[in-house]
Structure 1
């Protein structure tokens, strides 16, 4: 099933130990799987849980942190070996496929602990290696099957009009799918200085990624990628024979789909282009330091500079006061869309990703505008206010947006309010969800969504270090 189809699936509620116990269970009873059923256990992660939990005075927040932070390791990773090298498959939670984006984001909360645990480093090497092999199967795919020789097990993808290869679960071209593995590689390298995962196969995947970005600038031709799907939902397919809306070729990278897996309205997705600039610069550092590959590093930096210049020229709008802000999508002809989607990279998530400085005034204005009625996907209700997106529908707030807003904020009152809303959003389950109704948190989608759980864990780590007085 696709991410969209999984929402509300009754089967997903009972399919795995990761799914919460009945809501009638005693308050604050752990919702983690029994130790013997956990997919991966790290003593340093367990120590981190104990350390941070001890700093959280609010009993419910502490309970949610203990449930959410290890959820990826407890339930979604499958470590192994392939050809004498580590191989780690990471599912999203309730979908048995590996998204390049989600898998990177899911294990990111543990990267700072890798220097202290050899088995955790082995797990990361396996994810980095598996991602490289996935990219070499098809750099345009967003999700991959557990068996790299298998056909897709996603019903909606079986009849897509695109080039589906063995090992591909879904083939929606999204810029961020190639950015996230670059970010993960950089984070791991900076934490460990471990050269082991950065072998020739990995370097070839980086080269293919850079080449794919360059092709999708479409400066001289549309490139090989096109995608059409027969679906009732327009955001599941691309117009004009699967190539998307027309653009002026200005140096920005085309994206067929957003991080939500919804089709772009205009093909130049600005948050993802900003992420690409940052990711290319980060991967250039890894190429130089871990491999001594100055040539490919220079190619990455040259592409980053070109896209960055195009972003400044074509990616900005003016607000009512005449001040510059980032657009969400543009077409290079002057057409622009302002909105924000909760999925990261979003406009609100750019500082979290390191794509812009946290103090950058253009981004600050942009994020403030996105967190307002100027964003058609900003919803305010009885239970919470926050950002959603077309993927789930109107009036559904994503906890991911609340977490990003808290990470962005320095205001104690704002963060306290967001923590209250996040506590309500778990709806008795002990976990984060994909989305919940602005008026009724018990109406939610995806009970097992590891990316959101990990982000909540990151927020608790951030606040424990930055604002511990807000944790009760």
Structure 2
């Protein structure tokens, strides 16, 4: 029998320098293939909608959805070895197949460009979200998260993540208010239009920016990418002049977005960021001439014009985003201390602590049924929005973000609230599926992402097994969808959504460490 601890230790011992060097050579050869050979690879937007053999031997007979090796965009020996290990050990063969498809999906299909330069500062990685040919700061950070624990001993993954950090640095330096970006010019990939008519301030270059919705979780995700990488590798090679300048940009933006709508004397204060879109959808634009609803002063919270769903905020003190930002600022401060940037470290840490205090002071309200709970959005005047959205960061995910212990009573009250029809208008239930959705898709579709966060925030084996069963039932293509109709699971949005696939892989790896009995035969066998 192989114990769970041995399995997890093996994650970090699967590859050596020679294998990583061969991976780099393989990647270069793939990129240098003849145009004819590269064009022979199917468009994954179409490929993901079709069933491909061999099928799993479980109840759902899930297809094998990885591209053939010659069409995979990036590969890692450690990732391939871990897939073999998990395939052999996971009892449910449908679950094993879903992991096999999802774990490498970011590498297989979304690494549109990688430059493995000799100097760390020159490495670049452009990671698209899936079926949209643009890189979101939030999505790309989440898409790479499951590879972070392997990066210390896999040079290929280190190079990829370092490149992603550098590419995000460039984006934050160019347009810190924007959320999604075009391919870097050096990639040779053509920019694409989002097809929208936007009036945004600050003005951006649409050959660099795909969309410019200001969301504080985008900036928190930029910080998180470096924080995760350092936490797993101990490598600070990415901390250079440009990264420090990007952190400065983040801090300047935070202070700009802590400015309230009115001064202490009541005069209107100019807002640095405004956004208006010609649209018939209320969630796609900001009211009051593009500034959004007023926010109060003396809260220490940070305004967020949009949510991580890319929907407009109603009350712009978005509590999950502020919670995530507080955590990542404090983690970043520790990196800054390591590189002797003491003054900046102290400023970043203090700002994180101020925002954290603001969340507890203004973001906690008393619900008539559930008691003390976190609100989703507040305005600092006492008004609040009670709901949760499946997109991360969310209230359900506060322990996953590192903001609060899962056993905290306010969190537990909040968890009960957002997982109930009585407390959350976007907790959707039907005859075939249930979970948290959001206004982005509508009130008929729940998001599998929310079920995965449920799993990550419970210790109840029966609850975990029931949630895994629902995710499997809602994944007939062998991939995790963006959203699923709660009455008909075959009615879904996005067959190819790399973020959801990555979160599924992260959830399985968490269970392998935390709840091995749910996945493996821990009492005997191999």
- Which TM-score band applies after superposition, normalised by the shorter structure? over 0.9
Q: Distance in 2 between matches of 1:407 and 1:32?
A: 26
1:23 shift after superposition: 3.5
Q: How does 1:165-244 map to 2 (within 5 A)?
A: 165=205, 166-219=207-260, 221-244=269-292
Aligned position for 1:6: none
Instruction: Check whether the contact 2:200–2:212 (CA below 8 A) recurs between aligned residues.
Output: no
Aligned position for 1:74: 108
Is 1:58 the counterpart of 2:92? The answer is: yes
Residue 408 of structure 1, aligned match among 448, 457, 462: 457
Q: Distance in 1 between matches of 2:472 and 2:284?
A: 32
Aligned position for 1:463: 511
Task: Rate the CA distance shift 1:146–1:83 in 2: closer, same or farther, 3 A.
Answer: farther
Aligned position for 1:422: 471
Q: What SS is found at the alignment partner of 2:51?
A: coil
Task: Rate the CA distance shift 1:331–1:151 in 2: closer, same or farther, 3 A.
Answer: farther
Aligned length: 457
Gaps of 5+ in 2: 1-41, 57-62, 264-268, 521-526
Partner deviation per Cα, 1:12-39 (whole Å, 9 max, x = no partner): xx73278326237552342111111111
Q: How does 1:258-297 map to 2 (within 5 A)?
A: 258-289=307-338, 291-297=339-345
Aligned position for 2:69: 35
Q: Distance in 2 between matches of 1:350 and 1:55?
A: 31
Q: Distance in 2 between matches of 1:419 and 1:388?
A: 17
Q: How does 1:430-445 map to 2 (within 5 A)?
A: 430-445=478-493
Is 1:160 the counterpart of 2:209? The answer is: no
Partner deviation per Cα, 1:252-278 (whole Å, 9 max, x = no partner): 100000000000011110010111110
1:158 shift after superposition: 4.7
1:296 shift after superposition: 1.0
Structure showing greater radius of gyration is 2
Partner deviation per Cα, 1:71-118 (whole Å, 9 max, x = no partner): 001110121157951000000000000000000000010101011111
1:322 shift after superposition: 7.3
Instruction: Check whether the contact 1:52–1:464 (CA below 8 A) recurs between aligned residues.
Output: no
Aligned position for 1:303: 351
Gaps of 5+ in 1: 1-13
Residue 323 of structure 1, aligned match among 364, 371, 375: 371
Q: What SS is found at the alignment partner of 2:275?
A: coil
Aligned position for 2:27: none
Q: Distance in 2 between matches of 1:321 and 1:446?
A: 36
Q: Distance in 1 between matches of 2:469 and 2:456?
A: 15
Q: How does 1:126-141 map to 2 (within 5 A)?
A: 126-141=163-178
Task: Rate the CA distance shift 1:17–1:80 in 2: closer, same or farther, 3 A.
Answer: farther
Return 462-471 or 403-412, whichever deviates more.
462-471
Instruction: Check whether the contact 1:214–1:303 (CA below 8 A) recurs between aligned residues.
Output: no
Instruction: Check whether the contact 1:324–1:362 (CA below 8 A) recurs between aligned residues.
Output: yes
Return 149-158 or 409-418, whichever deviates more.
149-158
Q: Distance in 2 between matches of 1:109 and 1:209?
A: 25
Q: What SS is found at the alignment partner of 1:464?
A: helix
Task: Rate the CA distance shift 1:151–1:238 in 2: closer, same or farther, 3 A.
Answer: farther
Instruction: Check whether the contact 1:19–1:447 (CA below 8 A) recurs between aligned residues.
Output: no
CA root-mean-square deviation: 1.9
Instruction: Check whether the contact 1:148–1:168 (CA below 8 A) recurs between aligned residues.
Output: no
1:145 shift after superposition: 0.3
Task: Rate the CA distance shift 1:53–1:399 in 2: closer, same or farther, 3 A.
Answer: same
Normalised by the length of structure 2, the TM-score is 0.84
Q: What SS is found at the alignment partner of 1:41?
A: coil
Q: Distance in 2 between matches of 1:17 and 1:32?
A: 12
Aligned position for 1:90: 127
Is 1:383 the counterpart of 2:432? The answer is: yes
Instruction: Check whether the contact 2:128–2:134 (CA below 8 A) recurs between aligned residues.
Output: yes
Q: Distance in 2 between matches of 1:430 and 1:468?
A: 22
Partner deviation per Cα, 1:333-369 (whole Å, 9 max, x = no partner): 1110100000000000111111222222211211111
Partner deviation per Cα, 1:304-342 (whole Å, 9 max, x = no partner): 122122222211111226732100001111110100000
Instruction: Check whether the contact 1:255–1:269 (CA below 8 A) recurs between aligned residues.
Output: yes
Aligned position for 2:3: none
Normalised by the length of structure 1, the TM-score is 0.93
Return 135-144 or 195-204, whichever deviates more.
195-204
